[in-house]
Amino acid sequence: MSEPITIDLNPTTFLTVGTVGPPGQRKFFLQGSRSAEVISLLLEKEQARALAVALNELLERLPETDAVAAGDAPGVMDLLQPAEPLFRIGQMGLGYDEANDRIVIHAQELLPDPEGGVPGYVRFWVNRAQVKGLAAHTLEVVNAGRPSCPLCGQPMDPDGHFCPPGNGHEKEWPHD
């Protein structure tokens, strides 16, 4: 059995959420880098959405500071290519390092067999400007996919979808 992956990108110089593939078949990535080291992790769309919401909530709860956050607000937030995943994220957590005014995003590996060993993890240490930019960008990426059905909330394909509240009929909603 190999040792679990443990990576700390402290500080993380670039952090983004992005996708590869067309809507409905997109793969979501959380990707960060420090110097030439680039770490790409697979995550689910709803994990990306939950991360953005949690980051915004954390920013609201943090005490105001007079110090300017180290680093600039993110510019281009495109995935760095090639986006080769190190692992799929099973769980995520957030923390705050008050002494350095850094937010830490902890991503833990999803093991195929929960009894199959110790999961790896990656921690991304970022400043407030990076977090604010990441949260906004992530919501844009998540919302850029297929539109949601107003009746059931499920994603709709261009040809419609099977909608349980629509009594099983495939329809395009909303009607004009």
DSSP category for residue 10: S
Entry pTM:
0.81
Would you state the structure tokens that stand for residue 136, as one six-digit string? 């906004």
Could you check whether the bond before residue 82 is cis, i.e. omega within 30 degrees of 0? yes
The domain 6-145 is classified under which CATH number: 3.30.2450, 3.30.60, 3.50.50, 2.60.40? Answer: 3.30.2450
Q: In the prediction, which pLDDT does 70 show?
A: 46
Query: CA Rg, the chain, in Å?
Result: 18
pLDDT in tens, the chain (176 residues): 467 789 999 999 999 999 999 888 899 999 999 988 999 999 999 999 999 999 999 999 998 775 544 455 567 889 988 899 999 999 999 999 999 999 999 999 998 877 778 899 999 999 999 999 999 999 999 988 777 777 777 777 766 667 777 665 554 545 43
Q: Tell me the C-alpha distance between 155 and 162, whole Å.
A: 10
Domain layout of the chain by residue ranges: 6-145, 148-176
